[in-house]
Amino acid sequence: MIRFFFGKLAYLIPTFIGITVVAFGFVRLLPGDPVLLMAGERGITPERHALLSAQLGFDRPIVMQYLDFVGGLFQGDFGTSLATRRPVLGEFLTLFPATVELGLCAILLATLIGIPLGVFAAIKRGSAFDQISMGAALVGYSMPIFWWGLLLIILFSGILGWTPVSGRIDLLYFFPNGTGFMLIDSLMSGQSGAFRSALSHLILPSIVLATIPMAVIARQSRSAMLEVLSEDYVRTARAKGMTPWRVVGIHALRNAMIPVITTIGLQIGVLMAGAILTETIFSWPGIGKWMIDSISRRDYPSVQGGLLLIAGIVMIVNLVVDLLYGIINPRIRHS
Amino acid sequence: MKFAHLLAASTLAVMAAGGVHAKTLVYCSEGSPEGFDAAATTAGTTMDAAAGTILNGLVQFEPGTTNVQPALAESWEVNEDGTEYTFKLRPGVKFHTTDYFTPTRDVTADDVIFSFDRQGNADSPWINYLPGISYEYYNSMEMPALVKEIQKVDDLTVKFVLTRAEAPFLANLAMPFASIISKEYADQLEADGNLSALNSQPIGTGPYQFVAYQPDAVIRYQANPDYWNGAQAIDDLVFAITPDPAVRRQRLEAGECHVMPYPAPADIEALKGNDTLQVMEQAGLNVAYLAYNTTIAPFDNPEVRRALNMAMNKEALVEAVFQGTGVVAKNPIPPTMWSYNDAVEDNPYDPEGAKEILAAEGVDGLTMEVWAMPVQRPYMPNARRTAELIQADFAEVGVNVNIVSYEWGEYLKRSTDPTRTGAVILGWTGDNGDPDNFLAVLLGCAATGDGGANRAQWCNEDFDKLIQDAKVTTDVAERTRLYEEAQVVFKDQNPWATLAHSTVYMPMSAKVQGYVMNPLGRHSFEGVDLAE
């Protein structure tokens, strides 16, 4: 197990170097020049352009810029945002809890609905329930997030008035940013109604963000379950006269969940991608929206620092999933 | 412990319910500001969050107009040859008192001098107090070359000595970059080694003072109790940052905010039909244009440009693209601006005539590029559609158009290249209501070349002399005459096809009272009230 762990860990190093290159290169491959974007329609003289580029360090050779970037990383310096002139790491840490809060709610929702849906569909294979739920999963999987989010806003906020339109909490509530998790902070604030407001603001964005992972988890649970159900030991259990529910509950579920856990882990990356759109629609002040804004401003330090941090987190989550997988299914360690 | 906490919470809640109800105005703004230093930005979002809300200038634009009126300066005198401006400051103006700063003195000439000096003085620690900071407006308004000296005559008198007469100077001082900030606060930050707080924890003299900012989410202000121009009816002002126009509309309709800027053109009819809302509108101080590259054949020939302009059905174009939210443009400045020459006749829509001119000029089988911007701007809701309509119109006269587009940053960059081929769709929103801000910035000889804003690369001696003369004349009647003439030269030479001036809309709750639209596109909540 220890060898397995360190093997995985060693694998992270080249990956991490690769990511720094990609994150750094990616923003520079984007067309457009941050200095010109600052100037806009107004234009800029070549002298001003040279001066500003020098101030921002963009006049240095690209390799030097890269080395500066990596060198900074070792000192915990992810650069300074061109837009807010604040350290990128600080920006990230302020905004990250909002994304985590939304992501956790979404993954929870996706798991709690997706797994039972898939399992029941597998048990009732071929039934109307199976067909309808798998059809719905397919629709959910292919749903354009932006359109889906706006649709829910118009229906539940606009027409029915059940949920707030956007943001994290009703702006009448004002309390300091403690943990950064609005559900916790609103409870701690002691302001009555704040928690309920925070919760109601989470509903629509969580549903929107959960849609694709839910569909994936449901389909994965179904196929994993079907596979397990066709195994010999399940047939044996059945032959011994166990009720179908006991077969599933005692034997099948645990084994079927192994690939599902991997799937859930892999959904973290998907979740990040979904968060970009979801946060933009719902004005959710998290990492996703921050990345979009930074890209459109050509805020090089924020984009490369942000990409690196996100990639790092996805990698760590994947590592944890791998390790969990290794614990649940010892065979994987040796293969 | 838990019980005590609960008790405290419920007591607070009861107090809140029973206490005096604070009036809160929520503005669903379109984006996050970079900070609150109005001099260090070219972004309208940042100017809205800082200037006019937190800060004041020596002078300001009279609400709803581009006329200059007193603000922190009560009055001013200009010497005979227009090179010395002496301002008398309003006595007793207080800077904000917040939990991070308590002023010990009122606004003086020192604050004025500091506010400008920090933007131009290379020895000032403030010249680069934030990484990558640049004082773009201070530089592009040519302040370094223009201002020879700023003298403190006495505590409440300050004199600007200019190197030459500059007619738009007073209007420039009403712009956000010329906001007055506290030298005392700056000194305190310097002593603490905490310079960046100037941008993140602003102190000003404005109607509202800063409370808190959470990027991408919310900015909170509260009314300045000592505001020199009278207390505000609103207690708390909140900017709820909401980038998507469809979501802003939903929030407005749901009552989550009271005012929203930049509605989607397609939503305007529905918003107007909503009884709980009011929709203000105003002709924008802007222009959308198609700039030929006048240095490259055959577009170096004014007759060819005239012919192309004649081939364009602008009425149909504006109708289709602006859907009733714009008017056809014939001059490079908008009709609401002084010196607009209404006597100028636009090129008539005449495809047959256009064909004849092209044939006479020996242009046959021309293939050209029309560049369409990839983004929506206040002056241009849909450049792609505009380009397609131009393509169809030009095809009628035998000119083949390829539409090209680049990512926005790349578009801005490539469009200034002097060797660029093709005609570029772009536009402009005025900064200070002065015709110089359109004519010199966009069409002057000095603005040609790589990086310049003169995308037509058009340098016409007659035109340039007129605008140069107008710039150093202080007599408004004379300036008007010169600018009117410049517009005649412009139309004769057709460096652009002038496309449209857009209408700007501001939907807001019917409860909002006293909001005045700003022709320069700024959003200010001074003097605004909410009906109960």
| Cis peptide bond prior to A244, omega within 30° of 0 | no
**Does residue B8 have a pLDDT over 60?**
no
A98 Cα distance to chain centroid: 11
Nearest Cα neighbor of B257 from B245, B268, B265 is B245
How high is the pLDDT of residue A202? 94
CB-based contact, B139 to chain A, within 8 Å: yes
Burial class (CB in 10 A: 0-12, 13-18, 19+), A100: middle
Q: Does B390 reach chain A within 8 Å, measured CB to CB? A: no
> What is the pLDDT averaged over residues B368-396?
93
Output the average pLDDT for chain B. Answer: 91
Q: Higher model confidence: residue B484 or residue B52? A: B484
In B, which residues are within 8 Å of A44 by CB distance?
A: 451
| Residue B375 at interface with chain A, using a CB cutoff of 8 Å | no
User: Which positions in chain B touch A305 (Cβ < 8 Å)?
Assistant: none
Give contacts of B16 with chain A, Cβ < 8 Å.
191
User: How confident is the model over B65-87, as a mean pLDDT?
Assistant: 94
- Residue B452 is given by DSSP the state -
DSSP for B256-303 reads S-SB-----GGGHHHHHT-TTEEEEEEE-SEEEEEE--TTSTTTTSHH
- In this predicted structure, the answer to whether residue B301 has a pLDDT above a threshold of 60 is yes
Q: Is the pLDDT of residue B136 over 90?
A: no
User: Given the DSSP bridges, would you call strands B84-89 and B157-162 parallel, antiparallel or unpaired?
Assistant: antiparallel
Nearest residue, CB atoms, B451 vs list A34, A44, A85? A44
A167 vs B293, higher pLDDT: B293
Q: Cβ contacts (< 8 Å) between B454 and chain A: which residues?
A: 43
DSSP code, position B33: -
Q: Is B9 on the interface with A (CB under 8 A)?
A: yes
Total length of chain A: 335
Burial classification of residue A266, based on how many CB atoms lie within 10 Å of its CB (0-12 exposed, 13-18 middle, 19 or more buried): middle
- Residue for token digits 């837009």? A83
Q: Which residues of B touch A39 (CB under 8 A)?
A: 42, 136, 412, 451
Give the confidence band of A333 by pLDDT, cuts at 50, 70, 90.
Answer: low
> Between chains, do B254 and A164 touch, taking CB under 8 Å as contact?
yes
CB A84 within 8 Å of CB A305: no
Give the containing element (helix H, strand E) for B400. strand B400-404
Nearest CA in chain A to B411: A32
> What is the mean pLDDT of the segment spanning A213-236?
89
Higher pLDDT, B11 or A193: A193
Structure confidence at residue A332 as a pLDDT band (50, 70, 90): low
The alpha carbon of residue A79 is apart from the nearest alpha carbon of chain B, in Å, by: 10
3-state SS track over B129-163 = CCCCCCCHHHHHCCHHHHEEEEEEEECCEEEEEEC
**Residue B123 burial (C-beta neighbours within 10 Å; 0-12, 13-18, 19+):** exposed
Asked if B35's CB is within 8 angstroms of A167's CB, the reply is no
Q: State yes or no: pLDDT of B7 exceeds 70.
A: no
CB contact under 8 A, A172 and B13: no
What is the structure's pLDDT at A241? 81
pLDDT at A77 over 50: yes
Relative to beta strand B286-291, strand B529-530 is unpaired
Distance CA B423, CA B268 (A): 31
State the count of interchain CB pairs (< 8 A) between A and B.
180
pLDDT in tens, B389-413: 999 999 999 999 999 998 887 888 8
CB contact under 8 A, B426 and A285: no
From B31's Cα to the closest Cα of chain A, the distance in A is 9
Q: What is the pLDDT of residue A97?
A: 92
Helix (H) or strand (E) holding B478: helix B476-493
Task: Output the pLDDT for position B20.
Answer: 53
d(CA B246, CA B97): 38
Query: Taking CB atoms and an 8 Å limit, are A85 and B196 in contact across chains?
Result: yes
**pLDDT at residue number B12:** 43
* Residues of B (241-300) whose Cβ lies below 8 Å from A: 241-244, 246-247, 250-251, 253-254, 256
Q: How far is the C-alpha of A41 from the C-alpha of A266, rounded, in Å?
A: 43
Quick check: B244 and A281 CB within 8 A? Answer: yes
Residue percentage of chain A with pLDDT more than 70: 98
| A259-307 tens-digit pLDDT | 888 888 878 778 888 888 899 889 898 998 888 888 877 888 899 899 8
pLDDT at B188 over 90: yes
pLDDT of residue B30 exceeding 60: yes
Is residue B5 pLDDT above 60, yes or no?
A: no
Q: How confident is the model at residue B2 (pLDDT cuts 50, 70, 90)?
A: very low
Chain-chain contact of B132 with A82 (C-beta, under 8 angstroms): yes
Judged by CB atoms closer than 8 Å, whether chains meet at B409 and A31 is answered as: yes
What is the average pLDDT value for chain A, to the nearest integer? 86
Among B232, B202, B24, which Cα is nearest to B115's? B202
Q: Which has the higher per-residue pLDDT, A43 or B398?
A: B398
Return the pLDDT at B15. 41
The shortest CB-CB distance from B256 to any of A48, A165, A285 is to A165
User: In the predicted model, what is the mean pLDDT of residues B327-336?
Assistant: 94
Residues 6+ apart with CB under 8 A from A137: A117, A214, A215, A216, A218, A219
The answer to whether B362 faces chain A, any CB pair under 8 Å, is no
pLDDT of residue B451: 81
- When pLDDT is averaged across residues B319-329 and rounded to a whole number, the result is 90
**Banded model confidence at residue B21, pLDDT cuts 50, 70, 90:** low
* Residue B16: predicted pLDDT: 43
CA distances from A106 to A4, A156, B312 (A): 31, 18, 52
Nearest to B44 by CA among A166, A82, A91, A42: A42
B217 min Cα distance to partner chain A (Å): 5
Minimal CA separation from B238 to chain A, in Å: 8
Which of A46, A191, A298 lies closest to B12 in CB terms?
A191
Kindly tell me if the per-residue pLDDT of B376 is higher than 90: no
CA distance B240 to chain A (A): 8
- Dihedral Cα B269, B275, B277, B282, nearest 10 deg: 50
CB–CB of A82 and B450 under 8 A? no
Is the separation of the CB atoms in A32 and B407 below 8 Å?
yes
For the segment B124-151, the average pLDDT, to the nearest whole number, is: 89
Taking an 8 Å cut-off on Cβ atoms, the answer to whether A32 and B254 are in contact is no
Provide mean pLDDT across the span A242-248: 78
Answer yes or no: do A42 and B407 touch at CB < 8 A: no
- The 10s digit of each residue's pLDDT in B240-274 is 999 888 899 999 999 999 999 999 888 999 999 99
CA distance B164 to chain A (A): 22
Q: What is the pLDDT of residue A38?
A: 73
Q: Running DSSP on this structure, what letter comes out for residue B223? A: E
Q: Are B59 and B165 within 8 A, CB to CB?
A: no
pLDDT band at B19 (very low <50, low <70, confident <90, very high): very low
- pLDDT (tens digit per residue) in A80-137: 888 777 889 998 998 899 999 999 999 999 999 999 999 999 988 889 999 999 999 9
pLDDT at residue B10 in the model? 42
**Separation CA B375–CA B288 (nearest Å):** 13
- Buried-state track B419-456, b at ≥16 Cβ within 10 A, e below 16: ebebbbbbbbbbbbbbbbbbbbbbbbbbbbbbbbbbbb
The pLDDT confidence band at residue B342, using thresholds 50, 70 and 90, is very high
Q: Which of A166, A188, A196 to mutate to test the interface with B (most CBs of B within 10 A)?
A: A166
- Stronger pLDDT, A12 or A301, i.e. the higher one: A301
Residue B118 has pLDDT above 60, yes or no: yes
Q: Which helix (H) or strand (E) holds A251?
A: none
Q: Is the pLDDT reported for residue B454 higher than 90?
A: yes
Q: How confident is the model at residue B195 (pLDDT cuts 50, 70, 90)?
A: very high
pLDDT at B178 over 70: yes
CA distance B70 to B59: 5
A42, A55, A170, best to mutate vs chain B, most B CBs in 10 Å: A42
Q: pLDDT over 90 for what percent of chain B?
A: 77
B287–chain A nearest CA distance, Å: 12
From residue B333, alpha-carbon distances to B231, B388, B494, B519 in Å are 37, 25, 14, 13
Residues B77 and B82: their CA atoms lie apart, in Å, by 10
DSSP string, A14-69: HHHHHHHHHHHHHHHHSSS-HHHHHHGGG---HHHHHHHHHHHTTTS-HHHHHHHH
Task: Give whole-number Cα distances, A274 to A103, A172, A289, in Å.
Answer: 9, 29, 11
CB B198 within 8 A of CB B183: no
Residues belonging to chain B: 532
pLDDT score at A192: 84
Contacts of B214 in chain A (CB under 8 A): 94, 177, 285
How confident is the model over A140-149, as a mean pLDDT?
90
pLDDT in tens, A160-184: 989 999 888 888 888 877 888 999 9
CB nearest to A33's CB, from B13, B16, B409:
B409
**CA separation, residue B122 to residues A48, B9, B128, B145 (Å):** 14, 53, 9, 14
Residue A227 burial (10 A CB sphere; 0-12, 13-18, 19+)? middle
On whether the CB atoms of residues A283 and B240 are closer than 8 A, the answer is: yes
Nearest to B409 among A41, A170, A298 (CB): A298
Minimum Cα–Cα distance from A287: chain B residue: B216
Question: Whole-angstrom Cα distance, residue B105 to residue A87?
Answer: 34
Q: Which two tokens stand for residue B385?
A: 């559609």
Neighbours of B366 (CB within 10 A): 17
Tell me the nearest-neighbour CA distance from B180 into chain A, angstroms.
21
Any idea what DSSP says for residue B377?
Answer: B
